Amino acid sequence: MRARELWSMAADSQPKWPREARTAGNAGVMLVGRSAQHGGAPAAVLGGRFYTGKRVYAYTDFGGGVEHSRGETPQQGAFREFAEELLGQDEARAKATAAHLCVATSGALVGGRPFVHKNYVMFIVSAEAIVEAVQLPPGTEGSSAIDQLFAQAVQNSELTSVALVSIEELLLGASSDGMVCPLSVRQLDGKERSSDAIQLRALMVGQHGSIFTISHTLECFADQPVALKTGKKANCSENGRTVKKTAAEREESRNEGAELPPPEVPAGQKPRRRKGRWNRENQEEEECAMVPPPEVPLPEPQSTQDASADDALQSAAAAARAQTAAPAALETERQERTSYVFDMETGDPDDVLTLLFLGSHPAVELRAVTITPGSEEQVALVRWLLQRIGQAHVRLGAQAWPANAKKPVSLTSGFYRSFGRLPHGEPRCERADQVLLECCDESVTLVTGAPLHNLADALQLNGFRLGRWVAQGGFAGEGVVPPDKQMDKFKGMETCSTWNFGGNIPAAHAALTSGAIGRKTCVSKNVCHSACYDDEWHAALGAAVEAEACSAPQSRRAVALGMMHSAMDEYLRRRPGGKKLHDPLALAVALDESVCELVEVELFCRRGQWGSRPRPGSGVRISVAYDASKFRAALLC
Q: Give me the pLDDT at residue 451, please.
A: 96
Contact between residue 9 and residue 103 where contact means Cβ atoms under 8 Å apart: yes
Q: What is the pLDDT of residues 318-347, one digit of tens each?
A: 444 444 443 444 444 555 689 999 999 998
pLDDT tens digits for range 525-550 = 999 999 999 999 999 999 999 999 99
* Cα-based distances in Å from 67 to 23, 62, 92, 316, 332: 11, 16, 14, 70, 78
State how beta strands 26-35 and 120-126 pair. Answer: parallel
Whether 122 and 210 have beta carbons less than 8 Å apart is answered as yes
Please enumerate in sequence order all residues whose Cβ is within 8 A of that of 396, keeping only pairs 6 or more positions apart, or say none.
Answer: 368, 369, 370, 371, 379, 382, 383, 386, 427, 428, 429, 430, 435
Amino acid at 488: D
CB atoms within 10 A of CB 313: 11
Q: Are 149 and 127 in contact (CB under 8 A)?
A: yes
Please check the confidence at residue 224 and state whether its pLDDT lies above 90.
no
Amino acid identity, position 271:
P
SS3 217: helix
**How many helices, marked H, and strands, marked E, lie in the chain?**
21, 24
Cβ-defined contacts of 502-505 (< 8 Å, 24+): 502/223, 502/224, 502/225, 502/451, 502/605, 502/608, 502/609, 502/610, 503/225, 503/450, 503/451, 503/452, 503/453, 504/451, 504/452, 504/453, 504/456, 505/605, 505/608
Beta strand ranges found along 210-326 (DSSP E): 242-244
Query: CA nearest 7: which of 103, 122, 134?
Result: 103
pLDDT at 225: 64
pLDDT computed for residue 229 by the predictor: 62
pLDDT at 72 over 60: yes
CB 408 within 8 A of CB 553: no
Strand, coil or helix: what is 84? helix
Residue 432 has pLDDT above 70, yes or no: yes
For the stretch 240-272, pLDDT in tens is 344 444 444 444 444 443 333 333 333 443 333
pLDDT of residue 231: 58
Average pLDDT over residues 344-354: 94
Least confident window among 73-77, 180-184, 394-398, 631-635: 180-184
Residue 568 CB burial class (10 angstroms; 0-12, 13-18, ≥19): buried
Every domain of the chain with CATH number 3.90.245.10 lies at 338-636
Looking at residue 516, what is its pLDDT? Answer: 98
Report which listed range, 79-83, 236-240, 251-255, 290-294, is most confident: 79-83
Query: For 46-55, 366-375, 488-497, 555-564, which range has the lowest pLDDT when averaged over its residues?
Result: 46-55
Nearest to 611 by CA among 501, 483, 477, 491: 477
Q: Looking at the predicted structure, is the pLDDT value of residue 191 above 60?
A: yes
Looking at 1.10.287, 2.60.40, 3.90.79, 1.10.10, the CATH number of the domain 18-223 comes to 3.90.79
Angstrom distance (rounded) from CA 32 to CA 221: 9
Which phi and psi (to 5°) does residue 386 adopt?
A: -65, -40
d(CA 585, CA 472): 8
pLDDT at residue 397 greater than cutoff 90: yes
pLDDT confidence of residue 179: 87
Beta strands in 346-505 (DSSP E): 364-371, 395-398, 429-431, 444-448, 466-472, 495-496
CATH number of the 338-636 domain: 3.90.245.10
Greater model confidence, 280 or 569: 569
pLDDT of residue 505: 95
Mean pLDDT of 230-245: 42
Where do the DSSP E strands lie in 308-376? 338-344, 364-371
Stretch among 103-112, 245-254, 572-581 having the lowest mean pLDDT: 245-254
Task: Tell me what pLDDT residue 120 has.
Answer: 94
Q: What is the CA radius of gyration of the chain?
A: 25
Looking at residue 16, its pLDDT comes to: 67
Percent above pLDDT 90 for the chain: 63
Antiparallel, parallel or unpaired: β 41-51 and 56-60: antiparallel
Length of the chain: 637
Residue 595's closest CA among 495, 534, 527? 527
3-state SS record for 188-209: CCCCCCCCCCEEECHHHCCCCC
Give yes or no for a cis peptide into 18 (omega within 30° of 0): no
Query: What is the predicted pLDDT for the residue at 471?
Result: 98
Q: Where in the chain is the domain with CATH 3.90.79?
A: 18-223
Please tell me the predicted confidence (pLDDT) of residue 255. Answer: 42
Average per-residue pLDDT for the chain? 83
* Between 194 and 122, residue with greater pLDDT: 122
